[in-house]
Amino acid sequence: MSDAGYNYRVVRGFAFSALFWLVIGLVVGLWIAFEMFNPALNLTPWLSFGRLRVVHTNGLGLGFGLAAIFATSYYILQRLTRTPLLFPRLAQAHLYLFNTAIALAAISLFAGMNTTREYGELEWPLDIVVVVFWVMFAINVFGTLIKRKEKQMYISLWYIISMTVAIAILYIVNNLEVPINLFKSYTLYSGANDANVEWWYGHNVVGFIFTVPILAMFYYFLPKSTGLPIYSHRLSIVSFWALNFAYLWTGAHHLMLTPLPEWIQTVAMAFSIFLIAPSWGSVVNGYYTLQGNWDQMRTNYLTKFFIAGITFYGLQTLQGPLQGLRTLNAFFHYTDWVVGHVHMGTMGWVTMVISASFYYMIPRITNRELFSVKLANTHFWLILVGQFTWTITMWIAGIQQGAMWKATNPDGSLMYNFLDTVTSLYPYYKIRFGAGVIYFIGILVFAWNLIMTVRREPNQSEA
């Protein structure tokens, strides 16, 4: 490899940090999945559902998600600019600070330091640390981009830029709070406004963490893995700007039929439907890239991950806008349907694309062959079956609970008390736990495969 000068150490550090937080986050996920049908696991205050659920979401979103994004972004950035990172020491410090922050985040959430604003639950001192490590990242991104040797910026770099810009705005505006002491603060906003700010953040942090940088990976690693150029450059330009424009209008579809002014809800609904277009722009671009080469689904294990991943993205971006429609939302909101929706995105789209990106990237940055393609295939099928069983079960559970909440007797009275609507879901929760175990085994195979890869002897042909 003629990669002299590229900083792969920090890429590897973030990649294995991602694997670590992935495993931890999933163990917590399995724990709370069990608590849903058997409260016996609420053994101590630290292990009670209300605290653990945020450890799960933050551990996987901030820990796994961000680490994987930083790993792939640092890699893509250097390759696409043909320039080593401008500040390698800063990147290394970024890695250490990041992992320290995630560990402190987990401990503080276990201890109940929780602002309750979804996906922004960390208390103010950790918010500052999060901003600091994003700034460290941004300095390297823009520094390297300015010094770059390759003149044109490829699609993936656009997505990395827009992620960096959007996250800065979202995170700072959402987390403006007044400290009471080191462990407690109150948000600057109140009531309906707080809800509106929080779901503008909550929706878009998912968009700019679990969509935008994952698309950056998809647009870079799919052509790399398949040896096929992206089908349409023009389509990717249109999709990019339309996605970045429309996403920010849609947060209030999380607040349908709440006391938020109706016009904000309606605007969110309209833009959610519009978002199908740019989302499917990327889906179509992905599918057409494989035009005439669909045999790769059989012959190239990486292609399978990417195509399954983009398919779940396509389903996700149809389901999301539809459940944002007021009439459908009235039925589905607050049920497990939405939980199923989120997990198709995270367990399907996000993890599939990150998995394949790592399988492509780790052997190249460590100059080793992948330990086992067979294990990678096993990993693929386990997480596919696990995820699909998981999400379908939750959709059915959601429909059932939504219907039971609405059911009335001929005299107009309610047919079910609330507890009946909960206990009738326990069989689904048991299936969900089982599906989670299958998925978790798939992830363990993934981690094992990568650990064994870096423990191998390096290739002889090193330049």
Partner 1 sequence: MGITSKPVVFALLAAVVIMIGTTVTVFIPLFMPSTQPISPYIKPYTAVEQEGRDIYMREGCNNCHTQTVRPLRTEVLRYGEYSKPEEFAYDRPFLWGSRRTGPDLNRVGGKYPDSWHYKHTAHPQSMFEKSNMPPYGWLAKKRLDTGYSFKKTSTLGYGYSESEVQQQIDQYRATVTSTSYPSKESRDQVTPPELQKELTEMDALIAYIQKLGRDVKKMEATK
Among 2, 149, 181, 292, binds partner 1 (CB under 8 A): 181
Among 39, 107, 135, 451, binds partner 1 (CB under 8 A): 39
Q: Does 82 bind partner 1 (CB under 8 A)?
A: no
Of 138, 297, 142, 316, the residue nearest 215 (C-alpha): 316
Q: How far is the CB of 261 from partner 1 (least distance, A)?
A: 5
Q: Does 344 bind partner 1 (CB under 8 A)?
A: no
Q: What residues does 179 pair with on adjacent strands?
A: 185
Tokens describing residue 37: 């049908």
Among 53, 224, 364, 430, binds partner 1 (CB under 8 A): 53
**Chain centroid to CA 222: how far?**
18
Among 20, 23, 42, 276, binds partner 1 (CB under 8 A): 42
Q: Which of residues 213-242 bind partner 1 (CB under 8 A)?
A: 241
392 CB burial (10 A radius; 0-12, 13-18, 19+) = middle
Specify the stretch interacting with partner 1 by CB under 8 A; choose among 98-106, 181-189, 221-229, 290-298. 181-189
Q: How far is the CB of 64 from partner 1 (least distance, A)?
A: 20
Q: Would you say 361 and 305 are in contact if contact means Cβ atoms under 8 Å apart?
A: no
Among 95, 101, 205, 264, binds partner 1 (CB under 8 A): 264
- Dihedral pair phi/psi, residue 391, rounded to 5°: -75, -40
Tokens describing residue 304: 């399978």
Tokens describing residue 394: 């939750």
- SS3 category, 291: coil
Tokens describing residue 443: 């992830």
- SS3 category, 177: strand
Task: State the maximum Cα–Cα separation within the chain, in Å, rounded to a whole number.
Answer: 82
Q: Which of residues 314-343 bind partner 1 (CB under 8 A)?
A: 330, 334-336, 338-339
Q: Does 161 bind partner 1 (CB under 8 A)?
A: yes
Select 4 or 419, whichever has its Cβ closest to partner 1: 419
Specify the stretch interacting with partner 1 by CB under 8 A; choose among 301-309, 382-390, 400-408, 449-457. 400-408
Q: How far is the CB of 451 from partner 1 (least distance, A)?
A: 33
Cα separation values, 68 from 56, 65, 259, 458, Å? 16, 5, 38, 23
Q: Does 246 bind partner 1 (CB under 8 A)?
A: yes
Select 114 or 225, whichever has its Cβ closest to partner 1: 114
Specify the stretch interacting with partner 1 by CB under 8 A; choose among 2-10, 98-106, 127-135, 195-203. 195-203
Q: Please give the single-letter amino acid code of residue 305.
A: F
Q: Total binding residues for partner 1 by CB under 8 A? A: 92
Among 7, 17, 108, 164, binds partner 1 (CB under 8 A): 164
Q: Does 69 bind partner 1 (CB under 8 A)?
A: no
Select 195 or 215, whichever has its Cβ closest to partner 1: 195
In the block, residue with structure tokens 């309610």: 414
Q: Which of residues 352-371 bind partner 1 (CB under 8 A)?
A: none
Q: Which of residues 404-443 bind partner 1 (CB under 8 A)?
A: 405-408, 413-414, 418-419, 422-423, 426
Close Cβ partners of 168 (under 8 Å, ≥ 6 residues apart):
131, 134, 138
Q: Does 54 bind partner 1 (CB under 8 A)?
A: yes
In the block, residue with structure tokens 């945020």: 54
Q: Would you say 109 and 62 are in contact if contact means Cβ atoms under 8 Å apart?
A: no
Among 97, 192, 235, 297, binds partner 1 (CB under 8 A): 192
Q: Does 107 bind partner 1 (CB under 8 A)?
A: no
Q: Does 33 bind partner 1 (CB under 8 A)?
A: no
Q: Does 46 bind partner 1 (CB under 8 A)?
A: no
Q: In whole angstroms, what is the distance from residue 226 CA to residue 218 CA?
A: 11
Q: How far is the CB of 171 from partner 1 (least distance, A)?
A: 13
Q: Does 106 bind partner 1 (CB under 8 A)?
A: no
Of 323, 186, 333, 324, the residue nearest 251 (C-alpha): 324
Q: Does 258 bind partner 1 (CB under 8 A)?
A: yes
Specify the stretch interacting with partner 1 by CB under 8 A; choose among 92-100, 160-168, 220-228, 289-297. 160-168
Of 325, 193, 327, 332, the residue nearest 259 (C-alpha): 193
Q: Would you say 272 and 321 are in contact if contact means Cβ atoms under 8 Å apart?
A: yes
